[in-house]
Amino acid sequence: MEHDLDERTWGRRAFLGALGAGALAVVAGRPVWNAVSQPLNAATSALPDPVREALPFDGWRIYAVNPPMPTFEPASFRLRVTGLVDRPLDLTWQDVQGLPRTEQVSDFHCVTGWSVDDVRWAGFRLGPLLERAGLQPAATHLEFVSLERPYVDTLEIAQALLPDVLVADRMDGDGLSRPHGAPLRVVIPRMYGYKGVKWLTAINATDEPQVGYWEARGYDTDAWIGASNGLG
Ligand SMILES: Nc1nc2c(c(=O)[nH]1)N[C@H]1C(S)=C(S)[C@@H](COP(=O)(O)O)O[C@H]1N2
Ligand SMILES: [Mo]
C-alpha cells in the first residue's frame, strides 16, 4: 500500500506563514484555550459584539475539552496501534520518527465557521502504519485516542486512507506546538476539524464505529465539509 501524493497532485500552493503556527488567538492577554471547553468559541462569544468583531481572529483558535493540555515527553511518549491487528504496535517517539514521511499543504476548516488556508503539514500516512501492524480484514474503523481524555474520534478505514489524510508532527515548518496537539495530530482536510484528534496516542482498529467526542454531542460522524450538520 502506498498512499502518498506527489507534488503535482497537490499543486504548488503558496505557503502562507502569516497565519501559521505562531498566530495563537488571544483574548485580553489570555490564551483562548484557557477558557474554551467546546468548539463554539465560548471565550469570544461571551464578549460584546463590537469587541469580538474587532479581534484579529483570522487564523487558529485553540481548542481543548479538558485542560490543562497534555505535555509531550519524548522519553515516555508512545503511539500504540491496537485492536484488530495481527501485530499490535507500541512505538516510541524514535520509532515514530522512523516512519515513512510525507508532506502536504491543505486548508483547515472548523465546523464553527473559521478556516485556515494553506497549512503546511508534515508527518506520516496511515497506510504504511496499518500495513506494519497487520490490519485484519474484519476491521472497518479506526478509533483515534487523545492523551486528552476523553477526546476520541473515529474514521472508516477507507476515510483514513484517503490520499490527503495524515498524522502530522510538524506544521508550517515547525514541530507541532503543544496547543496544536504535540506531538501528533490527525489531519483530514475534507472533514471538519473535530475529526482531527490532537495529542494522539493510540489508534484502535475495530469492526464497528466508536462514538467520537463531538458525535456524542450531536455532530455528524461523517463530517464532510459543506455536507454535514455543523449544528450552528
Ligand atoms: N484532543 C483534542 N483534539 C481536538 C480538539 C480538542 O478539543 N481536543 N478540538 C478539535 C476541533 S473542534 C478543532 S476545530 C481542532 C482545532 O485545532 P487547533 O486547536 O489546533 O486550532 O482540533 C480538533 N481536535
Ligand atoms: Mo472545531
Assign 226 a pLDDT band (cuts: 50, 70, 90). Answer: confident
| Residue 5 placed within a domain | no
Q: What would the pLDDT profile of 196-218 be if each residue is shown by its tens digit?
A: 999 999 999 999 999 999 999 99
Give 162's contacts (C-beta < 8 A, 6+ positions apart).
Answer: 188, 190
| Residue 52 placed within a domain | no
Q: What is the CATH number of the domain that holds 91?
A: 3.90.420.10
Closest ligand 1 atom to the C-alpha of 112? Answer: 14
| Identity of residue 65 | V
pTM for this predicted structure = 0.79
- Higher-confidence residue of 156 and 51: namely 156
Domain boundaries, position 96: 70-217
d(CA 118, CA 51): 28
Verify whether ligand 1 is closer than 6 Å to residue 62 (CB atom): yes
Nearest CA, atom 19, ligand 1:
62
| Residue 106 placed within a domain | yes
| Residue 226 placed within a domain | no
- For residue 164, count other CB atoms closer than 10 A to its CB: 18
Q: What would the pLDDT profile of 109-147 be if each residue is shown by its tens digit?
A: 999 999 999 999 999 999 999 999 999 999 999 999 999
| Residue 113 placed within a domain | yes
Nearest to 115 by CA among 192, 52, 169: 192
Nearest CA, atom 2, ligand 1:
198
- Higher-confidence residue of 228 and 69: namely 69
Question: What's the structural domain count of the chain?
Answer: 1
Verify whether ligand 1 is closer than 6 Å to residue 63 (CB atom): yes
Q: Which residues of 84-114 are buried (b: 16+ CB within 10 A; e: fewer)?
A: bbeeebebebeebeebeebebbbebbbbbeb
Look at the block and give the residue holding cell 495529542: 199
The pLDDT of residue 54 is: 52
Share of the chain above pLDDT 70, in %: 74
| Residue 45 placed within a domain | no
Closest ligand 1 atom to the C-alpha of 192? Answer: 14
Asked if the model's pLDDT at residue 27 lies above 90, the reply is no
d(CA 48, CA 162): 41
Assign 231 a pLDDT band (cuts: 50, 70, 90). Answer: low
Look at the block and give the residue holding cell 469580538: 52
Nearest to 169 by CA among 148, 186, 184: 184
The pLDDT of residue 4 is: 34
Q: What would the pLDDT profile of 155-187 be if each residue is shown by its tens digit?
A: 999 999 999 999 999 999 999 999 999 999 999
Verify whether ligand 1 is closer than 6 Å to residue 188 (CB atom): no
d(CA 146, CA 133): 19
Across 93-110, average pLDDT: 97
| Residue 170 placed within a domain | yes
Spacing, Cα 64 to ligand 1 middle (Å): 6
Across 96-115, average pLDDT: 96
| Residue 11 placed within a domain | no
- pLDDT averaged over every residue in the chain: 81
Verify whether ligand 1 is closer than 6 Å to residue 39 (CB atom): yes
Assign 107 a pLDDT band (cuts: 50, 70, 90). Answer: very high
Query: Quick check: helix, strand or coil at residue 145?
Result: strand
